[in-house]
Amino acid sequence: MFPSPSVWQASNPTQSALLVDLSTALIAHAWFRKYEPGSVESGLIRLAVFATAPVVTTFRTLPSPLVNVPLHLAIFISILLCSIVLYRLSPFHPLAKYPGPIFCKISKFWFAWIAHEGKTHLYFDELHKKYGPIVRIGKQFRLMPHKRDIHALVQVPTNCPQGMPKGPMWEGRYFAPGKKQRSGYSLISARDFTSHAKLRKPWNRAFGSTALKDYEEALIARGTQLVEILKGTIRDSQDGVGHADISKCISNWSFDFMGDAIFGENFDLMATNDKDGLVQALDDAHWFPTISQMVPWAWEFFTLFPAFTRSSGKFSKFAFQQAQKRGTKVTEKRDLFYHLAANMDIDDDKPPLPLIISNAILAMVAGSHTTSLVISSIMYHLLLHPEYLVRLQKELDTAFPPSEQSVIQLDKLANLELLEAIINEDLRLQPPVPTYLQRAPSPGSGGRLLKDIFIPEGTAVVVPPYAMHRDPRNFSPDPERFWPERWYTQSDRIILDRAAFIPFSHGPANCVGRPLAMQEMRYITSMLVYNFDFSLEDGYNLKQWGEDLADRFILIKGNLPVKVKRRNVARV
């Protein structure tokens, strides 16, 4: 495969060996550029094949092989790495004309480090402010397109030649190690158009208008339980003022509701105040996938080290146990598991249980954290701007006049202007998935042309909702300000680009659970605001909420200590 050392004409054996090191490293780099390995294992095997030339040359031409072979292997690797770095920084790289930080251009491991710190949303927001709407990060673009470009970028129907499927990050975003856990065919990680459409079908039915009625009983029951728990903190106090971490209370509520809605199972986190630490386990479970998604080819290599996978172990074990338990239980309860099982179109060669389990776990991960984040964030913004809390209470009192028999009716909440504006404004400022909506040209397509930008095959495009929602081209004035009026005020001075509002992604690959999530946000926010007066706990630093937010693909929140008083005008 490689030329004999005698072919190389040099003045001495050392120069001949160095020439082989240099030539083989450059050939290896050219090969790796064209055929990028999909895993550490395949990369090491191919690297070892190329390394045979320096090893054989050194062994045959130089004395002291035990010394010279490791030396020339090191030289070969060093030249290869230098060639890679110089090429990625050179004007010959296909993405060279696009600006970006040097470290971002050199290696994806830089992103993995940023992701480890949990501030990816802030980091890339600053990059866009510095470099503009297009930022190069390795073999990825980060775009903040205008509304005319959004559809072409993230729309992914099979009959749309401009659309692109999900990107390669999903090859490295898994909660549990092992190929067995990866074989679950989850909707969110399906990159093939056909597979995605097939998996999407039962989800559409599970969150259709008919199915939503099946979840209402659990939503109302759990919302009432949350109100009663907060009343209990007031009864236990001596001055009629309760004290609670409203963020944790909402997380416990969300986890319990997901247990009801997905598995028909009572997890009892509200009753026990999460004595087993399941919410924290779910928070911790997001750490490893956030890192591995940045370097998906290294996913299996990471799993060899317990320090990486330990954080997701507890929740993964719990989730699989619950899904398997529900999968073997015969029941007519019309939970999400029921709808998935009833509507899943399963190939004959694929066992049904892993398919249903992986999708049920997806709902648990996505459903519990995203809604609890948004509702907690809404409470933070209302406490930060108490004038909106008072106005929202008045709107709810008007819609549901307080009396002994007053009940908040789910079907009326979507018509409340201020409530809807507050939810939208919070979703704008703190979208649950703030950074990584990734698309890439289909394998074998040769690339995609997005207006005047050519996206080569193997290059991913990322649209960051957090940065887009704060771009003055899309939302103005004061895009950083919590200002719900922007959603219903008619004025030529206000820029409100609804096409750039993508907290649930966009197109056929958008968040299928949006109808249920919106129903949860409206109802729980209304129940809290309608029944209680809230204020921030003494000594709470207002900056703490933002500092505690961690971007783990979805935003992970911190604590929000509040004082709670009963509203005399409200009744449950």
- How many Å apart are CA 347 and CA 414, to the nearest integer? 39
Last residue of a domain, one of 63, 89, 115: 89
- How many Å apart are CA 435 and CA 183, to the nearest integer? 26
pLDDT band, residue 183 (cuts 50/70/90): very low
Residues 85 and 229 in one domain: no
Query: Residue 467: inside a domain, yes or no?
Result: no
Per-residue pLDDT reduced to its tens digit, 131-181? 888 888 876 655 554 444 444 444 433 333 446 788 888 877 776 555 444
- The CATH number of the domain where 217 resides is what? 1.10.630.10
Residue 292 has a pLDDT of 85
Of residues 9 and 88, more confidence is placed in 88
Per-residue pLDDT reduced to its tens digit, 220-248? 999 999 999 999 999 999 899 999 999 99
Q: Where are the beta strands (DSSP E) in 489-557?
A: 495-496, 532-536, 550-552, 554-556
Per-residue pLDDT reduced to its tens digit, 252-299? 999 999 989 888 888 999 999 999 898 998 888 888 888 888 888 887
User: Tokens 């290696």 correspond to what residue?
Assistant: 107
Per-residue pLDDT reduced to its tens digit, 291-325? 888 888 887 777 777 777 777 777 777 877 887 78
Of residues 192 and 125, more confidence is placed in 125
3-class secondary structure, 452: coil
Phi-psi label, residue 118: left if phi above 0, alpha if psi -120 to 50, beta otherwise: left
Averaged pLDDT, 110-117: 88
Residues 206 and 67 in one domain: no
Per-residue pLDDT reduced to its tens digit, 11-36? 577 888 889 999 999 999 999 888 87
Instruction: Provide the CB-side half-sphere exposure for 415 (13 A, CA).
Output: 8
Find the angle CA(282)-CA(283)-CA(284) to the nearest 5 degrees.
Answer: 90
Residue 412 has a pLDDT of 94
| Domain range for 31 | 5-89
Query: Residue 282: inside a domain, yes or no?
Result: yes
Task: Report whether the peptide linkage leading into residue 477 is cis, meaning its omega lies within 30 degrees of zero.
Answer: yes
User: Tokens 């997005």 correspond to what residue?
Assistant: 450
Last residue of a domain, one of 89, 105, 139: 89
Residue 147 has a pLDDT of 45
- Is pLDDT at 420 greater than 70 in this prediction? yes
Per-residue pLDDT reduced to its tens digit, 541-552? 988 999 999 999
Query: Residue 150: inside a domain, yes or no?
Result: no
**Structure tokens of 368?**
């519990």
3-class secondary structure, 551: strand
Residues 79 and 196 in one domain: no
Residues in Cβ contact with 200 at an 8 Å cutoff, skipping those fewer than 6 apart: 187, 508, 512
* Least reliable range by pLDDT among 258-267, 342-351, 558-567: 342-351
Residue 405 has a pLDDT of 63
Residues 369 and 516 in one domain: yes
Between strands 140-143 and 460-463, the pairing is parallel
Averaged pLDDT, 472-497: 94
454, β-bridge pairs: 449
Of residues 479 and 343, more confidence is placed in 479
Residue 184 has a pLDDT of 46
Query: Residue 530: inside a domain, yes or no?
Result: yes
Residues 206 and 73 in one domain: no
Averaged pLDDT, 333-347: 74
**Single-letter amino acid, residue 57:** T
Residues 81 and 203 in one domain: no
Residue 560 has a pLDDT of 97
Dihedral of the alpha carbons of 30, 32, 33, 35, in degrees to the nearest 10: 120
| Average pLDDT value over all residues in the chain | 83
Last residue of a domain, one of 34, 58, 89: 89
- Is pLDDT at 538 greater than 80 in this prediction? yes
Residues 262 and 380 in one domain: yes
Phi-psi label, residue 507: left if phi above 0, alpha if psi -120 to 50, beta otherwise: left
Averaged pLDDT, 341-364: 66
Q: What is the DSSP string of 341-406?
A: HHH----TTS-HHHHHHHHHHHHHHHHHHHHHHHHHHHHHHHHHSHHHHHHHHHHHHHHS--STT-
Residue 456 has a pLDDT of 80
Question: Residue positions in the annotated binding site for heme?
Answer: 511
Name which of 77, 74, 107, 76 is nearest 89 in CA terms.
107
Query: Residue 163: inside a domain, yes or no?
Result: no
447, β-bridge pairs: 456
- Is pLDDT at 557 greater than 80 in this prediction? yes
Of residues 337 and 183, more confidence is placed in 337
Query: Residue 385: inside a domain, yes or no?
Result: yes
Residue 8 has a pLDDT of 45
pLDDT band, residue 399 (cuts 50/70/90): very high
Residue 181 has a pLDDT of 47
Question: Residue positions in the annotated binding site?
Answer: 511
Residue 194 has a pLDDT of 74
- Is pLDDT at 61 greater than 90 in this prediction? no
Our count of domains for the chain comes to 2
Find the angle CA(563)-CA(568)-CA(570) to the nearest 5 degrees.
Answer: 95
- Is pLDDT at 214 greater than 50 in this prediction? yes
Per-residue pLDDT reduced to its tens digit, 72-85? 899 999 999 999 99
Distance of CA 254 to the CA centre of its chain: 18
